[in-house]
Amino acid sequence: MAHRGYVGAVEASGRRTAALVLAVGIPIGLSAWGALAAEPDLRVLDLACALAALVTVGFLRSRPVAATGLAALLSALSPTATPAAAVGIVFTGLHRRFPVAAATTVLVVATHLVRGAWRPEGLPYGWWAILVVVGAAANLGWGALGRSHAALVASLAERARRAEAEQERRVAEARAAERAALAREMHDVLAHRLSLLATYAGALEYRPDASAEQRARAAGVIREGVHDALVELREVVAVLRHDEEDYAAALPVLADVPALVDEARAAGGTVTLEDEVSAVDCPPAIGRTAYRVVQEGLTNARKHAAGHPVRVALTGGPGDRLTVRIRNTLVDAPHRDPATDGHGLVGLTERVRLVGGELDQRRAHDFFEIEAQLPWPA
């Protein structure tokens, strides 16, 4: 495939060179015709210079300075090389820096002035010199303008490429943020539900003497918990695939905290709720974050201090700050998994910071406390 591309590029370059030689060859031929008619004694020199100039045209695209310099030297001998030298100035201006192109132009002007001194063109020498200088300057300006235009186009193309790359980067970041949001919601939903299921499963495991009715009730709670976890998981996935308003409307808020505490109590936990704010309207983002803080705190308490009392406190108000505290008895847990322990609090800290709040963890000799300070605009 690469070989075909290389061959194609060579063929295209050859076609362009052939077209250039043909285009410049026409004025060279006309110049030769006029020179032969005007000065038949120099026909051999003019024909040789015309053929040599035609050869130099074939190298203008690859070696513009050398080809133009050779055409300029031929111009000192015959007018048949003038078309090649003029086109060479344009190509030098297109493909080389301006100082180099200007020096080449000066060489072309000098050689034409030399030829005008020993082969007059039918004009006074002064007018001839002015005509040569103006024509060479015009060709140089044309070439420099083309080079500037090409540089501008290349700059715009590079800017467009960078803008496209930046857009792709932003899309990738947005996708990463969406995946992170999905992961956080899945963690919050599943960790809470599965911790409840673990509580009931543990009761069945350690109470083999439970009656059939108690086992059936526990099994029913487990079944309902699994069902609720699946439903909530589907809701999270579904709303994240749709617009942001549906996503926000489906998530729990501050007013749902009492129901969350009741659920923890129904699972056998001893949870005390001091609630001063759940009945007050709260910004949805702040309310959702407060709910997740309480949820994570209850989940951690079930994991690391099962059977011990938990205290949840919600204080604050509009224009102040919303304070969420979850305190549970500190219990040694020799079987804690270091691979997963603390990951929920890391994600919770990030969630709190995203809304402009702060999350603190305090560990004393007999209790562990999570405190979140969330902004609450008036």
Res. 98 pLDDT band, cuts 50 70 90: very high
pLDDT at 241 over 60: no
More confidently predicted of 259 and 220: 259
Residues 317 and 279: beta-carbon distance below 8 Å: no
Give Cβ neighbours of residue 145 (< 8 Å, ≥ 6 apart). Answer: 93
Q: In this predicted structure, what is the pLDDT of residue 9?
A: 56
Q: In this predicted structure, what is the pLDDT of residue 337?
A: 46
Query: How far is 256 from 261, CA to CA, in rounded Å?
Result: 9
Q: In this predicted structure, what is the pLDDT of residue 31?
A: 82
Query: How far is 278 from 294, CA to CA, in rounded Å?
Result: 12
Highest mean pLDDT among 26-40, 72-86, 292-306: 72-86
For residue range 290-333, what is the model confidence (pLDDT) as tens digits?
998 998 888 888 887 877 899 999 998 888 889 999 999 887 65
Query: How far is 52 from 159, CA to CA, in rounded Å?
Result: 43
Q: In this predicted structure, what is the pLDDT of residue 184?
A: 67
More confidently predicted of 347 and 168: 168
Q: In this predicted structure, what is the pLDDT of residue 8?
A: 57
- Of the chain, the end-to-end C-alpha distance in Å amounts to 66
CB atoms within 10 A of CB 161: 10
For 139-203, the DSSP string reads: HHHHHHHHHHHHHHHHHHHHHHHHHHHHHHHHHHHHHHHHHHHHHHHHHHHHHHHHHHHHHHHHH
Cα 329 from chain centre: 48
More confidently predicted of 296 and 245: 296
Q: Any idea what DSSP says for residue 277? A: S
Q: What is the mean pLDDT of residues 84-107?
A: 94
Query: How far is 293 from 305, CA to CA, in rounded Å?
Result: 17
Amino acid present at 139? N
Q: What is the mean pLDDT of residues 220-237?
A: 67
Structure token pair of residue 82: 């003038």
Mean pLDDT of the chain: 81
For 27-54, the DSSP string reads: HHHHHHHHHHHH-GGGHHHHHHHHHHHH
Q: In this predicted structure, what is the pLDDT of residue 340?
A: 43
Q: In this predicted structure, what is the pLDDT of residue 55?
A: 93
Percent of the chain with pLDDT over 70: 76
pLDDT at 232 over 70: no
Q: Among the listed ranges 43-47, 59-63, 233-237, 321-325, which one has the minimum average pLDDT value?
A: 233-237
pLDDT at 53 over 90: yes
In order of 193, 197, 215, 224, 349, the CA distances from 219 in angstroms are: 15, 10, 6, 9, 35
CB atoms within 10 A of CB 310: 23
More confidently predicted of 144 and 207: 144
Structure token pair of residue 60: 């203008």
pLDDT at 183 over 90: no
Give Cβ neighbours of residue 122 (< 8 Å, ≥ 6 apart). Answer: none
Amino acid present at 132? V
- Domains parsed from the chain with CATH numbers: 2-122 (no CATH), 252-378 (3.30.565.10)
For residue range 136-166, what is the model confidence (pLDDT) as tens digits?
999 999 999 999 999 999 998 898 888 888 8
CB atoms within 10 A of CB 276: 13
